[in-house]
Structure 1
Amino acid sequence: MRKWIFLCFLFPFVQHLQAQNIQNNPGSNHGNRFEQLGTILPTPNEYRTASGAPGPKYWQQRCDYDIKCSLDEKNLTLTGTENITYYNNSPDVLTYLWIQLDENEHNNLHNANYQDASYLSNRLTNTMIDRLESSKEDNGYGDKIHAVINLATGKALPYTINKTMMRIDLPQPLKPGQQFNFKINWSYKISDRMQMGGRGGYEYFPEDGNYLFTITQWYPRLCVYSDFQGWQNHQFTGRGEFALTFGNFKVQMTVPADHIVMATGTCQNYQQVLSPQQYARWTKAQTAKEPVEIVTLDEAKNAEKGKATTTKTWIFNADNVRDFAWTSSRKFIWDAMPTYIEGKKIMCMSAYGKEAYGLYRKFSTKVVAHTIKTYSKFTFPYPYPVAQSIEASNGMEYPMICFNYGRTEKDGTYSEAVKNGMLGVIIHEVGHNFFPMIVNSDERQWTWMDEGLNSFVEYLTEELYDNKFPSRKGAAWTITDYMRLPKDQLEPIMTNSENIVQFGPNAYTKPATALNILRETVMGRELFDFAFREYARRWAFKHPTPADLFRTMEDASGEDLDWFWRGWFFTTEPCDIAIDTVKHAVVNENSTGIMPQRNGARMIPLAKPAVPQFDDISKIRNRENSSITFLTDADTSLHDFYWKYDRGIIAYDSTIKVKLPEPAAVEPFTAEELKPYLGKHLYEVTFKNKGGLVMPIIVQFTFNDGTKEIERIPAQIWRKNENEVTKVFVTNKPVTSILLDPYRETADIDVSNNQWPKVNEPTKFELFKAGLMNRRNPVNPPNPMQEIKATN
């Protein structure tokens, strides 16, 4: 349970001290918005054509992995070795390779050195202070590289780790058409995903003493080397996701013997790792019409009660995928059924703990099947043999497997918001198999190319699930609140992932809405669907850029859409950083307490049905199209309380009252627990970028005993607000003064606003009166040589 520290502010100190939209005729009211994108998009070449299709000399690299790893549940570590075969299909000679070490995201010394602003609240947890204080000490997380070996010679390869990236220097140049084989031995401490965040790690269930592991971004993996930017070796900050190379995987995972493993690809040894009864159910599921429980609820509950002391090794293969992820837990119930796309069988599967049984058993696997069938209709036939949804209290995607949320109350009931949120996240994450797992855009540079396009097809899929589904992505009316925000809170869609403030609307909702407007209002469904499908099929298993999408949509439709891309997707200074305000608080005996209950428990009317707020044009046209059958109309097993409630079959009664849950309980500190935090000082400093040029913030603190300390904050602190940022610092002593850029490292043009408290310098007039200034001839400086000579 969290413990809270309540701070009384001792004294606030206040010293009042895009993507480029190139225009042809910026001073005019015409000739800009409908100008062609020729000055913005890259020049077509033999790799990428003016039509948006791959060129005659298009190429891309390949990387195959043979990985063996072992999960140590007791010590929460993962150890692995991987043999890597890298194919140089480029026309370039390579002298080094770049590897992603994404686990370093969790290490406070070797992460991407990305900074976020922070604020001093009157209510802090001890965890927050611990995190601020521990930022200078190695917390033990991140990749430990034990060896990098040339498999041809058995000799060690030289390598350099730069935060979340590793460069391996090749023993000789890797020429076009050649391949290189090497091995990496590594390990890392698995992080508590629920506390530290991130996409992979573990969740601990104290009620039954078990773990659920989501093993993602887990193995050192090759960066993309492409024709349009060379190595994509941008650091992993936790937001911009991944650019990855296609290849084949063989992965062996040794885990506790009572765990169930779900993974990218197909398992090669189910008969060895499953019980005879479970394997028989797996065989039955191959031809089932309804999901079959391969691991039952009772089996999962029984497994939770014991802890195996032996291990099993699960073996998975996956071909032509860009990544590999897996999950392992003794808590899993596992169900499966097939679906068919153009005659090919795809096994749709779900795994979930008992906490999610009431939702996932009824909906998940059927929604997986609905998703891949619908996406296949709008893009290309799903090419893989498996599609899986795992309940892991989050939302993240990988080839053939994704992690979602959706747990019931202890009594098995659930709210409509939880149900609809679960349906939406399953559709969204399963849909990522198409964008970017197959249409393999660079997520680290253009988040919208996977999230936005995927959100658009998610919207189409939700609409075909149930005409009353309350979708929040795609319909034009859903984006208006975002688009009317002040300009300083907006960025063009064509903005790097790390620089976006309103990340969800910018990267997900706005591009999805733009595409839906193109489909319903600008182009019409027939033209749009043909062109969008052409883009997906041209770039399946390849690396597209935004220009490839823009050009293909025009090429395949015969529509000039440059005005649309320009308006919806694209739409400038010396350094002068100033200290604007300083707030100070200190932890003392009066700083701790129980968090006040804001409103306490309240009785409110029963929630009304979650019908769509607006009957948008897509819903209307779908209803009017006699060839469309909504899944919930075709499959009555998907009818639950809320399906009937929304349609008035179960009547709404406003006289029924429901009790709001109590606010989360927090504990007060004991005097002993509070001791380590007593006397700590927290300073919230707000900095203004008055000049416009973003630079690192270098802060020198002078303490009451005369000692000094310098904190260096990277320029990335300005990414989300280029005009003003706020940062909280923890010190063990009172600060008497703060000075920016003490060594004049940033070319700051005005140092008068670099101090707190502000020091008033003499004006030029005062200097003149004191005889220290002469208009033409300044006062002669001291001349020690002259002085010494005069005394001899």
Structure 2
Amino acid sequence: MRSIFAGWLGAAALWASATPGLVHAQAAAAPTAPAAASTAYMPIPFAPAHAAAPSVPSAPDAWGGPRTGQEPTLSDRVVDYRIDASLDAARHAVSGKEQLTWRNRSDREVRSIYVHLYLNAFQNEGSTFFTEREVLTAHSGSRGAAKLEKGQWGWIDLQQVSQDGAALKWAFVHPDGGPATDQTVARIDLARPVPAGGTLTLDIEFLSQLPRVVERTGWWGDFNLVAQWFPKIGVLELPGERGATQVRWNVHEFHFNSEFYADFGRFDVTLSVPSDYTVGAVGEPQGAPVTANGRTTYHFVQGDVHDFAWVAAKGYKVLDGSWQGPGSPKVAVRVLYPPEYAASAQPVLKASTDALTYFSDTLGPYPYRTLTAVVPPYNASEAGGMEYPTFFTAEGYKEVTPGTLSQYAIDFVTIHEFGHGYFYGLLASNEFEEPMLDEGMNEYWDQRMLRERGQDIVATTAGLKRLGIAPAVPGFVAERLGADLRHPYDPLGENAWDRYSSGSYGTVYSRTATAMHDLEERLGKAVTERAFREYYRRWHFRHPSAADLRQALIDVSGDAKTVNEVFDQYVYGTAHIDDRVASIDSEEVLPLAGSMRVDGKHTEGDTEALDKRIARQREDWAKTHPKAKPGSGPFPWHSTVSVVRDGAQVPQVLRVTFADGSHQELKWNDDRRWARFEFTGPSKVVSAELDPQRRVFLDADKLNDSLAARPDGAASRRWSADFAALVQAFLSLLVSL
């Protein structure tokens, strides 16, 4: 491993508090200088380099307060983008002219703004993205691992930036203390400050060179997924918003595992492409495309979103559908797909419309008029499984057989990427600092939908199905297998980049889904659903934090103890659960031998006579109970069951089974590290089991939850669900290869 992170971690906090305009590299620009500094002026700081999930809820009026539906626009629009773009298909390059209009929500003037230049993550191995990739994937696999060669790198060049005709300077800065060679964030110094409450308009000319498909954007052959492609302004957060205590710029570098965070606004985008290319994009088409001189111009507009992406591909087909639900407009649903994956088009369309119904019913109505799904071509799988507002990419299969892994994979990925339209899109959480609020909560809600459908993971292929081999496992069971429950390295609420490895980052999906599954079991399904619906009502078209989700769960459930326990242990901590049945001990309660005190005198019993009496009682009882099970008899039994807690506290139920087939259930819900339960009755204890209804999925080792006085198949049967999930994972790997 190369020593490319020298001083990065230790210096990050210093970088965050330093003057935010600190320059590592400066682009060429006209010599116009920003306005002269005032002695009273204080630069606006960055959000901390290691910011993660806040623990204090946002202020009630954060981001303008909850949207009631009576406002003139769905969101409190902060930014407006007008972009004219032209695709050079041969070079996979996009030239663009962007007019950026931004509103200063703060109470102070702004003299510099910051823009994301995401494509610069792919211009060389010196970017924050590539330097982190080397470290985080050293011991675990990940997406975004493609090796770029000559002619395959990507970047974005600012060619000119002006404010009211005055050319501006810009410089690359490093809000997180990343390598000096990273150019994913630029500071633009303004010719005239933007006053408090004022509006800024910039005219920007840029050139975006797409990389070969890597990390969900780029080209392959005649396929171009144009994402993360334009200069995009950072977010100016105010006190009381997502843990901010002062006005600050939230504009992190493009980290390897991180995604995006932006203000809501309006996009008006014109796209010029070769006429034999099919186009799909965020938003609503404005009239029919216009064709001239071998090129076609498309016009898309969408308000109340925070990003824009599009696809241009030769030879693509189109499948159209529609959907409408209560409270939603009629939605035009479109699937764009290559001919080799024609079998995937209809399943993607159906999964999309089914997801529209489920998410609208359980969270809130879908507010947009379009939804576009793109199936990437063969050899461009890195472009699959990515989300943007009203637009996402799915996966493609040459054959989709109902009841097989291919059908499940199509449905799961489609539902997952659509679901991001709510947790990433409408709720607009900060994916840099709180990936659990998007990836994790979305994974949980997707699995709820699949559970409602009765759709388990069917770990079989078409060939295996013909042989009658079709093992299946519930989705939440599979999630707990990938959740690294034994040794979690990072809190779920940690940011995207301060992670032990990409594998640890990956548990954001599965461990969050598992934690929310267990919270739902404790609060109740109906209560949990009402709480998430309230969370959506309060925070859609705003930017909630983990603390805001926690507060909604507490307010609706009224159970602060349970909600805080789960959040403290897993969102803000790295607790693990491992409760086990340690031992079962039983003995008959026989008449006692020895000396007894009678009338003040010791009388020693006849041990031999006692033994004979006990034997006669056994014989007599056996004659009258010819079908009695071992462990029963004329004498009572005293049994002791010991349980041990090797991790965090969680409410448990202990089911004890007796020799006569009867059961007894007890609650273990305290902070003891071990407990001992005693039973006296006509039968001895033959087995004990924690969590008999299998509600505690966070328990790292379910095999030790049960114990039998004599070996039987109960534990093996309990393990079978996990084994089936392993089979599923193996078959998924084969399919991906």
State the TM bucket, normalised to the shorter chain: 0.5 to 0.7
Between the aligned partners of 2:449 and 2:402, the Cα distance in structure 1 is 23
Contact between 2:289 and 2:299, CA under 8 Å: does it hold in 1?
no
> Would the alpha carbon gap of residues 473 and 107 (structure 1) be closer, same or farther in structure 2, given more than 3 Å must change?
farther
Q: Does 1:148 align with 2:161?
A: yes
Counterparts of 1:52-451 in structure 2, within 5 Å, are: 62-108=78-124, 111-112=127-128, 114-117=131-134, 141-150=154-163, 152=164, 154-162=165-173, 163-193=183-213, 197-204=214-221, 211-227=222-238, 228=241, 229=244, 230-270=248-288, 272=290, 310-342=294-326, 344-360=329-345, 362-392=346-376, 393=381, 394-408=384-398, 416-451=404-439
Between the aligned partners of 1:568 and 1:158, the Cα distance in structure 2 is 45
> Would the alpha carbon gap of residues 309 and 615 (structure 1) be closer, same or farther in structure 2, given more than 3 Å must change?
farther
Match of 1:10 in 2: none
Residue type of the partner of 2:260? F
Contact between 1:406 and 1:419, CA under 8 Å: does it hold in 2?
no
Q: Does 1:570 align with 2:558?
A: no
Residue type of the partner of 2:206? W
> Would the alpha carbon gap of residues 45 and 382 (structure 1) be closer, same or farther in structure 2, given more than 3 Å must change?
closer
Q: How far did 1:537 drift? A: 1.2
Q: How far did 1:270 drift? A: 2.5
Q: How far did 1:330 drift? A: 2.2
Q: How far did 1:174 drift? A: 1.4
Between the aligned partners of 1:663 and 1:420, the Cα distance in structure 2 is 14
Between the aligned partners of 2:62 and 2:451, the Cα distance in structure 1 is 34
Contact between 2:257 and 2:505, CA under 8 Å: does it hold in 1?
no
Q: What secondary structure does 2:483 align onto?
A: helix
Q: Which runs of 5+ in 2 are unaligned?
A: 1-8, 10-52, 69-74, 139-144, 174-182, 459-471, 575-691, 697-730
> Would the alpha carbon gap of residues 549 and 92 (structure 1) be closer, same or farther in structure 2, given more than 3 Å must change?
farther
Residue type of the partner of 2:336? A
Contact between 1:77 and 1:187, CA under 8 Å: does it hold in 2?
yes
After superposition, the C-alpha distances for 1:558-594 in whole angstroms (9 at most, x for unaligned) are: 111211211121229xxxxxxxxxxxxxxxxxxxxxx
Q: How far did 1:40 drift? A: 7.8
Contact between 1:212 and 1:331, CA under 8 Å: does it hold in 2?
no
TM-score by length of 2: 0.60
Residue type of the partner of 1:242? F
Between the aligned partners of 1:430 and 1:202, the Cα distance in structure 2 is 22
Q: What secondary structure does 1:475 align onto?
A: helix
Q: What secondary structure does 1:425 align onto?
A: helix
Q: How far did 1:484 drift? A: 4.1
Q: How far did 1:529 drift? A: 1.1
> Would the alpha carbon gap of residues 73 and 479 (structure 1) be closer, same or farther in structure 2, given more than 3 Å must change?
same
Contact between 1:491 and 1:506, CA under 8 Å: does it hold in 2?
no
Residue type of the partner of 1:340? Q
Q: What secondary structure does 1:482 align onto?
A: coil
After superposition, the C-alpha distances for 1:457-501 in whole angstroms (9 at most, x for unaligned) are: 1112222344445598862574156344445xx211121111232
Q: How far did 1:93 drift? A: 2.4
Residue type of the partner of 1:425? V
After superposition, the C-alpha distances for 1:231-283 in whole angstroms (9 at most, x for unaligned) are: 1111002321001111111101000011111110011123646xxxxxxxxxx
TM-score by length of 1: 0.56
> Would the alpha carbon gap of residues 530 and 254 (structure 1) be closer, same or farther in structure 2, given more than 3 Å must change?
same
Q: What secondary structure does 1:373 align onto?
A: helix
> Would the alpha carbon gap of residues 477 and 616 (structure 1) be closer, same or farther in structure 2, given more than 3 Å must change?
farther
Q: What secondary structure does 1:384 align onto?
A: coil
> Would the alpha carbon gap of residues 461 and 486 (structure 1) be closer, same or farther in structure 2, given more than 3 Å must change?
closer
After superposition, the C-alpha distances for 1:254-313 in whole angstroms (9 at most, x for unaligned) are: 00011111110011123646xxxxxxxxxxxxxxxxxxxxxxxxxxxxxxxxxx971110
After superposition, the C-alpha distances for 1:68-125 in whole angstroms (9 at most, x for unaligned) are: 011011222111110111011223322211100000011116622633447999xxxx
Contact between 1:406 and 1:418, CA under 8 Å: does it hold in 2?
no
Q: Does 1:516 align with 2:517?
A: yes
After superposition, the C-alpha distances for 1:10-57 in whole angstroms (9 at most, x for unaligned) are: xxxxxxxx9xxxxxxxxxxxxxxxxxxxx98237646459xx9799xx
Between the aligned partners of 1:555 and 1:108, the Cα distance in structure 2 is 48
Between the aligned partners of 1:497 and 1:85, the Cα distance in structure 2 is 29
Residue type of the partner of 1:241? E
Counterparts of 1:684-695 in structure 2, within 5 Å, are: none
Match of 2:675 in 1: none
Between the aligned partners of 1:482 and 1:315, the Cα distance in structure 2 is 44
Counterparts of 1:642-721 in structure 2, within 5 Å, are: none
Contact between 1:93 and 1:174, CA under 8 Å: does it hold in 2?
yes
Q: What secondary structure does 2:127 align onto?
A: coil
Residue type of the partner of 1:243? Y
Residue type of the partner of 1:356? Y
Residue type of the partner of 2:409? G
> Would the alpha carbon gap of residues 472 and 146 (structure 1) be closer, same or farther in structure 2, given more than 3 Å must change?
farther
Between the aligned partners of 2:434 and 2:320, the Cα distance in structure 1 is 34
Between the aligned partners of 1:270 and 1:363, the Cα distance in structure 2 is 28
Q: What secondary structure does 2:510 align onto?
A: helix
Q: What secondary structure does 1:498 align onto?
A: coil
Between the aligned partners of 2:490 and 2:735, the Cα distance in structure 1 is 39
Residue type of the partner of 2:555? D
Contact between 2:323 and 2:332, CA under 8 Å: does it hold in 1?
yes
CA RMSD in angstroms, aligned pairs only: 3.7
Contact between 1:107 and 1:139, CA under 8 Å: does it hold in 2?
no
Residue type of the partner of 2:513? A
Match of 2:55 in 1: 41
Between the aligned partners of 2:527 and 2:136, the Cα distance in structure 1 is 50
Q: What secondary structure does 2:166 align onto?
A: coil
After superposition, the C-alpha distances for 1:312-343 in whole angstroms (9 at most, x for unaligned) are: 10111111111111111122111111111116
Q: What secondary structure does 1:214 align onto?
A: strand
After superposition, the C-alpha distances for 1:431-452 in whole angstroms (9 at most, x for unaligned) are: 1110111101000111111011
> Would the alpha carbon gap of residues 473 and 446 (structure 1) be closer, same or farther in structure 2, given more than 3 Å must change?
farther
> Would the alpha carbon gap of residues 46 and 438 (structure 1) be closer, same or farther in structure 2, given more than 3 Å must change?
closer
Match of 1:529 in 2: 529
> Would the alpha carbon gap of residues 530 and 334 (structure 1) be closer, same or farther in structure 2, given more than 3 Å must change?
same
Contact between 2:482 and 2:510, CA under 8 Å: does it hold in 1?
no
Q: What secondary structure does 1:242 align onto?
A: coil
Between the aligned partners of 2:424 and 2:311, the Cα distance in structure 1 is 21
Q: What secondary structure does 2:422 align onto?
A: coil
Contact between 1:456 and 1:474, CA under 8 Å: does it hold in 2?
no
Pick 1 or 2: higher relative contact order, CA cutoff 8 A, min separation 6.
1
Between the aligned partners of 1:511 and 1:107, the Cα distance in structure 2 is 33
Q: Which runs of 5+ in 1 are unaligned?
A: 1-17, 19-38, 122-127, 205-210, 274-307, 573-613, 619-657, 665-792
> Would the alpha carbon gap of residues 325 and 539 (structure 1) be closer, same or farther in structure 2, given more than 3 Å must change?
same
Between the aligned partners of 1:40 and 1:246, the Cα distance in structure 2 is 21
Match of 1:578 in 2: none
Between the aligned partners of 1:243 and 1:556, the Cα distance in structure 2 is 28
Contact between 1:321 and 1:399, CA under 8 Å: does it hold in 2?
yes
Q: How far did 1:173 drift? A: 2.3
Residue type of the partner of 1:457? W
